[in-house]
Structure 1
């Protein structure tokens, strides 16, 4: 009888200890989720993410002079909506192929979401207006006054992926006449700065496999990796059937362990 009572007490002690650990783990998980949610909330609340990077307000190279403005999906003008739709069709109808009609409808919904954030690229009329100087704010003001039509945009969002705060690039679209001049790389550097400033663990983006130029740009030029959440790494047999890859660049150990786990298969060796 005494042995049975001791056994029961021991069993109760083990149960109590286990329950305490579960409660502690649950509390830790909830606190982490709350902290991540707050990080996303603060990032979304910033009115002009570009204001922290005045040196990146303008870009000038050879015969190209542009400047950037922030925007959000639920504040797009009729003109901006049309521009985005038209440029997407010109640049992406080919890579998507027969999937484009469906994807176009999805992209139209995505572009006006309240979570959507934009960097709009305007060409400056005066090539010298955006020249680098110690008075960057005045230079930026001159660019705004002398701007020509839009020549491209970046659509990005602050989201939670695999329980991590990340910046997800939905679109980076440039008109053909401003491509190949370093502008895309400059914009991605700016995106990475915005991500790190807002405590995002990584930058993620989706690329169509058929878009070989874009794949080469991200993987070989910018050193992005195929993420662990990309279909080809989740299940190679399923990945073969998918038309896209999810790429990433991580900024801390936790994000790297969860989203990258760099190994032999994490880069596209055939690019």
Structure 2
């Protein structure tokens, strides 16, 4: 009888612990969902970072503005398509025709957020032409709220002037202000310049959710790596520490 009583008590304790654990998991999920919702509903994250709305260095003068995928004009859509083709067609090679369709679909999503880069007008040019953009979203990776950079594309004549690093610094500030655990992005292995930029200059690491970390053999078959920069202990432990993950996911267009 005593043995039965002890077993019953242990079962009751175990049941309470499981319920408590489930409640904690649900509460955490709800909190993360609310973080994503709040970040995504922000009309313009640039209002918090006014000094980053202009860039005047290395003979380059540009200003930036925010936008969303479901509010793009036809001319901006065409600009994005054209710049993606110019910058990424060679990188993707034979895969480009498929990737282009996915990218065109993703760019107009209501979840897509943008930073548009305009060249400042001068004496000979009275307009403010677009010279690049960043496409990003707020989402969950391994239950960690993250800012995921889908695209950062600049025209050739504004590259090599520090603008890319400037924009990624802004992205990281937006991520931190929005209480995201990390910035995550995907880069094509064939894009050696981009890999060097992220890993050497910005100190991003190959994430534990990247194919090569999940399964080295599978990673050999994939044409991309997932990189990240985590901001807190939990995000670092889950997204940066090398280990085996049961799953990984990445939109085909992230690069």
TM-score (norm 1): 0.87
Q: Note the alpha carbon deviations across 1:118-163, whole angstroms, 9 max, x for none.
A: 0000000139xxxxxxxxxxxxxxxxxx652100000000001111
2:59 equivalent to 1:63: yes
Query: Given the alignment, which residue of 204, 210, 213 partners 2:193?
Result: 213
Partners of 1:187 and 1:21 in 2: CA distance: 46
Partners of 1:56 and 1:18 in 2: CA distance: 53
2:46 equivalent to 1:50: yes
**For residue 252 of structure 2, what is the aligned residue in structure 1?**
none
Moved over 6 A (4+): none
Contact 1:250-1:259 at 8 Å conserved across structures = yes
2:200 equivalent to 1:192: no
**For residue 174 of structure 1, what is the aligned residue in structure 2?**
154
**For residue 250 of structure 2, what is the aligned residue in structure 1?**
none
Query: Given the alignment, which residue of 118, 125, 142 partners 1:122?
Result: 118
Q: Secondary structure at the match of 2:180?
A: coil
Query: Given the alignment, which residue of 103, 109, 132 partners 1:107?
Result: 103
Q: Note the alpha carbon deviations across 1:95-120, whole angstroms, 9 max, x for none.
A: 11111111111101110111100000
Matches within 5 A, 1:2-13: 5-13=1-9
Contact 2:213-2:242 at 8 Å conserved across structures = no
Per-residue deviation, 1:262: 6.6
**For residue 83 of structure 2, what is the aligned residue in structure 1?**
87
Query: Given the alignment, which residue of 14, 20, 27 partners 1:18?
Result: 14
**For residue 134 of structure 1, what is the aligned residue in structure 2?**
none
**For residue 244 of structure 1, what is the aligned residue in structure 2?**
224
Q: Secondary structure at the match of 1:122?
A: strand
- Please provide the CA RMSD for this pair: 1.3
TM-score (norm 2): 0.92
2:147 equivalent to 1:158: no
Greater Rg by CA: 1
Partners of 1:83 and 1:125 in 2: CA distance: 18
Partners of 2:68 and 2:8 in 1: CA distance: 56
Per-residue deviation, 1:62: 3.1
Contact 1:206-1:246 at 8 Å conserved across structures = yes
Q: Given the superposition, is the C-alpha separation of residues 51 and 147 from structure 1 closer, same or farther in structure 2, using an over 3 Å criterion? A: farther
Partners of 2:49 and 2:242 in 1: CA distance: 30
Q: Secondary structure at the match of 1:168?
A: strand
Contact 1:59-1:183 at 8 Å conserved across structures = yes
* Structure 1: unaligned runs, 5 residues or longer: 128-145, 264-271
